[in-house]
Amino acid sequence: MPEIVTLTMNPALDIATSAEAVIPTEKMRCGPPRYDPGGGGINVARVVKILGGEAFAVFPAGGPAGLALEGLLERDGVPHQRIPIKGVTRESFTVDERRSGQQYRFVLPGPSLSGDEQRACLESLVEHVANARFIVASGSLPPEVKPDFFRGVADLAKRSGARFVLDTSGEALRQTRQGVYLLKPSLRELRECVGRELRSEAEQVEAAQELIADGRSEVIVISLGAQGALLVTAQGFQRLAPIDVPIRSAVGAGDSMVAAITLGLVRGLDLEHAVRFGMAAGAATLMTPGTELCRRDDVEKLYSNQFIRKAI
Protein backbone atom coordinates (compact mmCIF):
# COMPACT_ATOMS: atom_id res chain seq x y z
CA MET A 1 0.00 0.00 0.00
CA PRO A 2 1.15 3.60 -0.59
CA GLU A 3 2.81 5.48 2.25
CA ILE A 4 0.31 8.35 1.90
CA VAL A 5 -3.42 7.79 2.49
CA THR A 6 -5.84 10.68 1.99
CA LEU A 7 -9.34 11.25 3.34
CA THR A 8 -11.86 13.53 1.62
CA MET A 9 -15.15 13.80 3.51
CA ASN A 10 -16.75 16.24 1.07
CA PRO A 11 -15.55 15.35 -2.45
CA ALA A 12 -16.86 17.03 -5.59
CA LEU A 13 -17.15 16.49 -9.28
CA ASP A 14 -15.34 19.58 -10.54
CA ILE A 15 -16.58 21.16 -13.77
CA ALA A 16 -14.70 24.00 -15.42
CA THR A 17 -15.49 26.05 -18.48
CA SER A 18 -15.17 29.58 -19.86
CA ALA A 19 -17.52 32.29 -21.11
CA GLU A 20 -16.92 35.60 -22.84
CA ALA A 21 -18.70 37.41 -19.99
CA VAL A 22 -20.75 36.47 -16.93
CA ILE A 23 -23.91 38.60 -17.08
CA PRO A 24 -26.99 38.29 -14.82
CA THR A 25 -30.17 36.84 -16.42
CA GLU A 26 -28.55 36.34 -19.82
CA LYS A 27 -27.91 32.97 -21.45
CA MET A 28 -24.14 32.57 -21.58
CA ARG A 29 -22.58 30.32 -24.21
CA CYS A 30 -19.70 28.43 -22.63
CA GLY A 31 -16.63 26.71 -23.98
CA PRO A 32 -16.00 22.95 -23.77
CA PRO A 33 -16.27 21.66 -20.18
CA ARG A 34 -13.48 19.98 -18.29
CA TYR A 35 -14.34 17.35 -15.67
CA ASP A 36 -12.04 16.46 -12.77
CA PRO A 37 -12.35 14.52 -9.52
CA GLY A 38 -12.20 17.11 -6.77
CA GLY A 39 -12.15 17.73 -3.05
CA GLY A 40 -9.15 18.33 -0.81
CA GLY A 41 -7.78 14.84 -0.17
CA ILE A 42 -8.59 13.66 -3.69
CA ASN A 43 -6.61 16.58 -5.11
CA VAL A 44 -3.75 15.71 -2.76
CA ALA A 45 -3.70 12.12 -4.05
CA ARG A 46 -3.84 13.31 -7.66
CA VAL A 47 -0.90 15.69 -7.19
CA VAL A 48 1.16 13.01 -5.43
CA LYS A 49 0.54 10.84 -8.51
CA ILE A 50 1.49 13.69 -10.87
CA LEU A 51 4.76 14.17 -8.99
CA GLY A 52 5.72 10.52 -9.30
CA GLY A 53 4.56 9.29 -5.91
CA GLU A 54 1.69 7.08 -4.81
CA ALA A 55 -1.25 7.85 -2.56
CA PHE A 56 -4.45 5.99 -1.73
CA ALA A 57 -7.64 8.07 -1.60
CA VAL A 58 -10.59 7.27 0.68
CA PHE A 59 -13.84 9.19 0.19
CA PRO A 60 -17.64 8.86 0.46
CA ALA A 61 -19.56 9.33 -2.78
CA GLY A 62 -22.97 8.59 -4.22
CA GLY A 63 -25.32 9.24 -7.11
CA PRO A 64 -24.34 9.88 -10.74
CA ALA A 65 -21.78 12.53 -9.77
CA GLY A 66 -20.16 10.13 -7.32
CA LEU A 67 -19.86 7.41 -9.93
CA ALA A 68 -18.44 9.91 -12.44
CA LEU A 69 -15.89 11.07 -9.86
CA GLU A 70 -14.77 7.49 -9.25
CA GLY A 71 -14.48 6.88 -12.99
CA LEU A 72 -12.25 9.94 -13.35
CA LEU A 73 -9.94 8.68 -10.60
CA GLU A 74 -9.69 5.37 -12.44
CA ARG A 75 -8.86 7.31 -15.60
CA ASP A 76 -6.07 9.10 -13.74
CA GLY A 77 -4.72 5.89 -12.21
CA VAL A 78 -5.22 7.00 -8.59
CA PRO A 79 -5.79 4.05 -6.20
CA HIS A 80 -8.90 4.65 -4.13
CA GLN A 81 -11.78 3.32 -2.05
CA ARG A 82 -15.23 4.83 -2.57
CA ILE A 83 -17.57 4.56 0.41
CA PRO A 84 -21.09 4.31 -1.06
CA ILE A 85 -23.58 6.79 0.41
CA LYS A 86 -27.29 7.46 -0.11
CA GLY A 87 -26.77 11.14 -0.88
CA VAL A 88 -25.61 12.59 -4.18
CA THR A 89 -22.03 13.86 -4.40
CA ARG A 90 -21.87 17.60 -4.99
CA GLU A 91 -20.65 19.35 -8.11
CA SER A 92 -18.46 22.44 -8.14
CA PHE A 93 -18.58 24.80 -11.11
CA THR A 94 -15.81 27.16 -12.22
CA VAL A 95 -16.20 29.72 -15.00
CA ASP A 96 -13.31 31.75 -16.41
CA GLU A 97 -14.55 35.03 -17.86
CA ARG A 98 -12.49 35.62 -20.99
CA ARG A 99 -13.25 39.33 -21.27
CA SER A 100 -11.90 40.27 -17.84
CA GLY A 101 -9.70 37.33 -16.91
CA GLN A 102 -11.73 36.93 -13.71
CA GLN A 103 -12.71 33.54 -12.34
CA TYR A 104 -16.09 32.67 -10.82
CA ARG A 105 -16.31 29.63 -8.52
CA PHE A 106 -19.61 28.09 -7.43
CA VAL A 107 -19.19 25.59 -4.58
CA LEU A 108 -22.15 23.52 -3.34
CA PRO A 109 -22.43 22.25 0.26
CA GLY A 110 -22.42 18.51 -0.36
CA PRO A 111 -24.73 15.72 0.88
CA SER A 112 -25.40 14.82 4.50
CA LEU A 113 -23.69 11.68 5.78
CA SER A 114 -25.34 9.30 8.22
CA GLY A 115 -23.51 8.07 11.29
CA ASP A 116 -23.02 4.67 9.63
CA GLU A 117 -21.55 6.32 6.53
CA GLN A 118 -19.14 8.36 8.66
CA ARG A 119 -18.04 5.25 10.55
CA ALA A 120 -17.54 3.42 7.24
CA CYS A 121 -15.06 6.12 6.19
CA LEU A 122 -13.01 5.64 9.35
CA GLU A 123 -13.20 1.84 9.02
CA SER A 124 -11.89 2.09 5.46
CA LEU A 125 -8.98 4.18 6.70
CA VAL A 126 -8.17 1.49 9.27
CA GLU A 127 -8.05 -1.08 6.46
CA HIS A 128 -5.63 0.92 4.35
CA VAL A 129 -3.16 2.59 6.73
CA ALA A 130 -1.10 -0.47 7.75
CA ASN A 131 1.94 0.78 5.82
CA ALA A 132 1.05 4.48 5.75
CA ARG A 133 3.56 7.01 7.01
CA PHE A 134 1.13 9.89 6.53
CA ILE A 135 -2.64 10.28 6.69
CA VAL A 136 -3.79 13.48 5.01
CA ALA A 137 -7.28 14.85 5.64
CA SER A 138 -8.05 17.86 3.51
CA GLY A 139 -11.16 19.88 2.75
CA SER A 140 -14.43 20.78 4.40
CA LEU A 141 -16.86 18.58 6.31
CA PRO A 142 -20.30 17.97 4.78
CA PRO A 143 -23.56 18.85 6.57
CA GLU A 144 -24.38 16.96 9.78
CA VAL A 145 -20.81 15.78 10.30
CA LYS A 146 -19.71 17.09 13.70
CA PRO A 147 -16.83 19.57 13.55
CA ASP A 148 -14.74 17.37 15.88
CA PHE A 149 -14.76 14.53 13.33
CA PHE A 150 -11.05 14.90 12.58
CA ARG A 151 -10.22 14.10 16.21
CA GLY A 152 -11.17 10.52 15.39
CA VAL A 153 -8.81 10.58 12.42
CA ALA A 154 -6.02 11.91 14.65
CA ASP A 155 -6.62 9.06 17.11
CA LEU A 156 -6.56 6.55 14.27
CA ALA A 157 -3.28 7.97 12.98
CA LYS A 158 -1.72 7.72 16.43
CA ARG A 159 -2.76 4.07 16.78
CA SER A 160 -1.40 3.21 13.35
CA GLY A 161 1.89 5.05 13.84
CA ALA A 162 1.24 7.42 10.93
CA ARG A 163 1.68 11.19 11.02
CA PHE A 164 -1.51 13.18 10.53
CA VAL A 165 -1.54 16.15 8.15
CA LEU A 166 -4.69 18.29 8.32
CA ASP A 167 -5.86 21.06 6.00
CA THR A 168 -9.32 22.28 6.95
CA SER A 169 -11.06 25.47 8.04
CA GLY A 170 -13.80 26.98 10.16
CA GLU A 171 -15.12 25.11 13.16
CA ALA A 172 -13.38 21.89 12.10
CA LEU A 173 -10.03 23.69 12.45
CA ARG A 174 -11.02 25.25 15.77
CA GLN A 175 -11.98 21.81 17.08
CA THR A 176 -8.52 20.28 16.57
CA ARG A 177 -7.05 19.23 19.90
CA GLN A 178 -4.08 16.86 19.59
CA GLY A 179 -2.53 14.21 17.41
CA VAL A 180 -1.89 16.44 14.38
CA TYR A 181 1.64 16.51 12.98
CA LEU A 182 1.18 19.35 10.49
CA LEU A 183 -1.55 21.95 10.02
CA LYS A 184 -1.66 24.12 6.89
CA PRO A 185 -4.02 27.04 7.43
CA SER A 186 -4.20 30.11 5.27
CA LEU A 187 -3.76 33.39 7.11
CA ARG A 188 -7.53 33.94 6.99
CA GLU A 189 -8.16 30.48 8.45
CA LEU A 190 -5.61 31.07 11.22
CA ARG A 191 -7.25 34.41 12.06
CA GLU A 192 -10.64 32.74 12.32
CA CYS A 193 -9.17 29.95 14.44
CA VAL A 194 -7.62 32.22 17.07
CA GLY A 195 -10.13 35.08 16.79
CA ARG A 196 -7.58 37.85 16.19
CA GLU A 197 -6.51 40.01 13.24
CA LEU A 198 -2.83 38.92 13.13
CA ARG A 199 -1.63 41.96 11.20
CA SER A 200 2.11 41.50 11.77
CA GLU A 201 4.45 38.60 11.20
CA ALA A 202 5.16 38.47 14.93
CA GLU A 203 1.45 38.12 15.69
CA GLN A 204 1.09 35.38 13.08
CA VAL A 205 4.01 33.41 14.50
CA GLU A 206 2.72 33.93 18.05
CA ALA A 207 -0.72 32.57 17.10
CA ALA A 208 0.79 29.51 15.43
CA GLN A 209 3.08 28.81 18.39
CA GLU A 210 0.11 29.09 20.75
CA LEU A 211 -1.55 26.24 18.86
CA ILE A 212 1.68 24.25 19.01
CA ALA A 213 2.06 24.91 22.76
CA ASP A 214 -1.51 23.69 23.25
CA GLY A 215 -0.51 20.40 21.60
CA ARG A 216 -2.80 20.92 18.62
CA SER A 217 -0.03 20.42 16.05
CA GLU A 218 3.73 19.92 15.95
CA VAL A 219 4.24 21.98 12.78
CA ILE A 220 2.16 24.78 11.28
CA VAL A 221 2.64 26.06 7.74
CA ILE A 222 0.78 29.31 7.15
CA SER A 223 0.15 30.01 3.48
CA LEU A 224 0.30 33.75 2.87
CA GLY A 225 -0.58 33.93 -0.83
CA ALA A 226 1.50 36.60 -2.55
CA GLN A 227 3.61 36.98 0.64
CA GLY A 228 4.86 33.39 0.58
CA ALA A 229 4.58 31.15 3.64
CA LEU A 230 5.58 30.86 7.28
CA LEU A 231 6.98 27.59 8.63
CA VAL A 232 6.45 27.53 12.40
CA THR A 233 7.58 24.98 15.00
CA ALA A 234 8.09 25.14 18.76
CA GLN A 235 11.75 25.95 18.11
CA GLY A 236 11.17 28.96 15.87
CA PHE A 237 9.94 30.04 12.47
CA GLN A 238 11.10 30.71 8.95
CA ARG A 239 9.54 32.97 6.33
CA LEU A 240 9.76 31.56 2.82
CA ALA A 241 9.63 33.99 -0.09
CA PRO A 242 6.77 33.73 -2.60
CA ILE A 243 7.22 32.26 -6.05
CA ASP A 244 6.15 34.75 -8.69
CA VAL A 245 4.14 33.09 -11.49
CA PRO A 246 1.37 34.16 -13.87
CA ILE A 247 -1.95 33.26 -12.26
CA ARG A 248 -4.61 31.52 -14.35
CA SER A 249 -6.60 29.68 -11.67
CA ALA A 250 -6.35 29.20 -7.91
CA VAL A 251 -8.35 25.97 -7.87
CA GLY A 252 -6.42 23.24 -6.06
CA ALA A 253 -3.35 25.34 -5.24
CA GLY A 254 -3.56 24.74 -1.49
CA ASP A 255 -4.15 21.01 -1.97
CA SER A 256 -1.15 20.87 -4.30
CA MET A 257 0.98 22.50 -1.62
CA VAL A 258 -0.11 19.93 0.98
CA ALA A 259 0.51 17.06 -1.45
CA ALA A 260 4.07 18.10 -2.27
CA ILE A 261 4.95 18.86 1.37
CA THR A 262 3.82 15.36 2.36
CA LEU A 263 5.53 13.68 -0.58
CA GLY A 264 8.70 15.65 0.14
CA LEU A 265 8.71 14.36 3.73
CA VAL A 266 8.16 10.80 2.49
CA ARG A 267 11.18 11.25 0.20
CA GLY A 268 13.35 12.37 3.10
CA LEU A 269 13.37 16.14 2.65
CA ASP A 270 13.69 18.23 5.80
CA LEU A 271 10.80 20.50 6.74
CA GLU A 272 12.13 23.61 4.99
CA HIS A 273 12.78 21.83 1.70
CA ALA A 274 9.48 19.94 1.89
CA VAL A 275 7.61 23.23 2.32
CA ARG A 276 9.55 24.78 -0.55
CA PHE A 277 8.55 21.77 -2.67
CA GLY A 278 4.96 22.38 -1.58
CA MET A 279 5.15 26.04 -2.52
CA ALA A 280 6.46 25.08 -5.96
CA ALA A 281 3.50 22.74 -6.48
CA GLY A 282 1.04 25.39 -5.33
CA ALA A 283 2.57 27.98 -7.65
CA ALA A 284 2.59 25.53 -10.57
CA THR A 285 -1.12 24.92 -10.04
CA LEU A 286 -1.78 28.67 -10.21
CA MET A 287 -0.33 28.56 -13.73
CA THR A 288 -2.86 26.03 -15.08
CA PRO A 289 -6.39 26.85 -16.26
CA GLY A 290 -9.68 25.94 -14.60
CA THR A 291 -9.57 22.83 -12.43
CA GLU A 292 -6.34 21.46 -13.88
CA LEU A 293 -3.70 20.81 -11.24
CA CYS A 294 0.06 21.27 -11.47
CA ARG A 295 2.39 19.81 -14.08
CA ARG A 296 5.43 17.92 -12.87
CA ASP A 297 7.95 19.74 -15.05
CA ASP A 298 6.71 23.11 -13.77
CA VAL A 299 6.93 21.98 -10.14
CA GLU A 300 10.47 20.68 -10.48
CA LYS A 301 11.61 23.82 -12.28
CA LEU A 302 10.04 26.17 -9.73
CA TYR A 303 11.48 24.14 -6.86
CA SER A 304 14.99 24.27 -8.30
CA ASN A 305 14.72 27.98 -9.10
CA GLN A 306 14.18 28.82 -5.42
CA PHE A 307 17.72 27.66 -4.62
CA ILE A 308 19.21 29.39 -7.66
CA ARG A 309 17.71 32.70 -6.55
CA LYS A 310 18.83 32.06 -2.96
CA ALA A 311 22.40 31.44 -4.12
CA ILE A 312 22.44 34.64 -6.16
User: Which sequence positions are flagged as catalytic?
Assistant: 255
Provide the residue type at 293 as one letter: L
The 3-class secondary structure across the chain, one letter per residue, is: CCCEEEECCCCEEEEEEEECCCCCCCCCCECCCEEEEECHHHHHHHHHHHCCCCEEEEEEECHHHHHHHHHHHHHHCCCEEEEECCCCCEEEEEEEECCCCCEEEEECCCCCCCHHHHHHHHHHHHHHCCCCCEEEEECCCCCCCCCCHHHHHHHHHHHHCCEEEEECCHHHHHCCCCCCCEECCEHHHHHHHHCCCCCCHHHHHHHHHHHHHCCCCCEEEEECHHHCEEEEECCEEEEECCCCCCCCCCCCHHHHHHHHHHHHHHCCCCHHHHHHHHHHHHHHHHCCCCCCCCCHHHHHHHHHHHHHHHHC
**Three-class secondary structure of residue 58 per DSSP:** strand
**Residues 6 or more apart from 158 whose CB is under 8 A from it?**
164, 179
